[in-house]
């Protein structure tokens, strides 16, 4: 029988409060960074268009600047105007690769850096960017619960057509020739390609150790149930685990099959879902099946479907399930 993973630790009020505080801190941070970006655009004569899409904050609210560094005097963390800085983001790509295909929904703005002078080298720019990322992590995770480290988590960064990959040879151009006011520096974190969870940690804001344990169990047993109190992020965690796993086993992350369990008592709808699940479980093709928010009165039904299909070890089929509530009187989803 499948061991039913329960997020009991998250049911504790103290840890739930920590998670909520982290989310609130992230929301406030994003507002501050949006305000900073709108002021940057306003300095270049684009206030009208930026105000239409970016909410403004009051001038009395603080805006984070890039932290100062002694690595080079050419990098000032204070911007004298809106035209001598570049935006720095973290691209939360679960693949763990540096890609030119950028999805805005995957980007997190962490701050701005002053454009370096012609004499600055790549090592100095590395230090500035890592310092900015480290300061951002310290703001969203002051107690170091997430387990992210700038020097270990970052695999490199991209600026237009130029890529600076950790451990690789430096680009031919110097940073001052690459970075322009319109340039965005995009950092990338370790992911499925490195069998690491750094990007997944930043995406769903769960501790590294917890995600590693869940993935280890899922890869071993192929079926995982997340259960716990409402409002602790189980649905997002289940979706991100399924997306990460799909990349890990070599299928498209958009290829995750999202199965909906109906709440009504219609025999036709139940039979249809039962056949869909059985076909997916018996399919010879690799697949990741996501069953989100299983209704309590349908848990026995889902359990019976899984029990009726023998788990094949020759095909990579994985199931991630999520339901609300406590442990009491709940049938296990077995092989």
Break the chain into its structural domains and give their ranges: 85-197, 206-324
What is the longest distance spanned by two Cα atoms in the chain? Answer: 73
Determine the pLDDT at residue 217.
93
Structure tokens at 60: 């009395």
Determine the pLDDT at residue 51.
39
Determine the pLDDT at residue 14.
52
Determine the pLDDT at residue 86.
92
Determine the pLDDT at residue 103.
82
Q: Other CB atoms closer than 10 Å to residue 30's CB: what's the count?
A: 12
Determine the pLDDT at residue 230.
82
Q: Other CB atoms closer than 10 Å to residue 328's CB: what's the count?
A: 5
Distance of CA 270 to the CA centre of its chain: 34
Nearest to 85 by CA among 56, 105, 113: 113
Structure tokens at 73: 């005097």
Contact 163, 156 (CB under 8 A): yes
Contact 106, 93 (CB under 8 A): yes
Determine the pLDDT at residue 244.
95
Class for the domain spanning 206-324? alpha beta
Contact 222, 310 (CB under 8 A): no
Nearest to 303 by CA among 334, 276, 266, 278: 334
Which residues of the chain carry a pLDDT beneath 70? 1-18, 20, 38-83, 253, 265-266, 314-315, 325-335
Determine the pLDDT at residue 53.
40
Q: Residues 183-242: pLDDT tens digits?
A: 999 999 999 999 999 999 999 999 999 999 999 999 998 889 888 888 888 899 999 999
252 Cβ contact partners less than 8 Å away, ≥ 6 residues apart: 246
d(CA 43, CA 52) in angstroms, rounded, equals 16
């Amino acid at each position: 029988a499948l061991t039913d993973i329960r997020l009991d630790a998250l049911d504790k009020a103290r840890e739930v409060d920590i998670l909520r505080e982290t989310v609130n801190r992230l929301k406030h941070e994003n507002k501050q960074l949006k305000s900073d970006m709108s002021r940057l655009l306003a300095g270049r004569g684009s206030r009208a268009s930026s105000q239409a899409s970016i909410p403004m904050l009051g001038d009395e609210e603080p805006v984070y600047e890039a932290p100062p560094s002694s690595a080079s005097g050419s990098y000032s963390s204070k911007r004298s105007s809106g035209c001598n800085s570049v935006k720095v983001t973290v691209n939360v790509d679960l693949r763990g690769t540096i890609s030119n295909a950028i999805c805005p929904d995957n980007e997190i703005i962490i701050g701005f850096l002053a454009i370096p002078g012609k004499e600055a080298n790549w090592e100095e720019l590395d230090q500035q960017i890592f310092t900015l990322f480290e300061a951002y992590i310290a703001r969203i995770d002051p107690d170091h619960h997430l387990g992210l480290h700038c020097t270990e988590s970052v695999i490199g960064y991209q600026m237009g057509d130029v890529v600076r990959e950790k451990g690789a040879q430096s680009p031919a151009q110097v940073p001052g020739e690459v970075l322009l006011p319109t340039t965005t520096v995009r950092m990338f974190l370790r992911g499925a390609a490195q069998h690491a969870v750094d990007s997944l940690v930043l995406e769903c804001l769960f501790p590294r150790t917890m995600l590693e344990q869940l993935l280890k169990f899922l890869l071993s047993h192929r079926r995982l149930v997340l259960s716990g109190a409402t409002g602790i992020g189980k649905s997002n965690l289940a979706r991100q685990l399924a997306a990460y796993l799909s990349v890990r086993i070599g299928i498209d992350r958009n290829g995750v099959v999202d199965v909906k369990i109906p709440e009504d008592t219609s025999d036709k709808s139940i039979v249809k879902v039962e056949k869909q699940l059985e076909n997916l479980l018996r399919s010879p093709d690799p697949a990741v099946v996501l069953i989100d928010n299983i209704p309590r009165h349908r848990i026995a039904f889902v359990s019976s479907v899984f029990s009726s299909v023998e788990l094949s070890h020759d095909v990579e089929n994985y199931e991630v399930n999520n339901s609300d509530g406590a442990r009491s009187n709940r049938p296990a989803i077995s092989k």
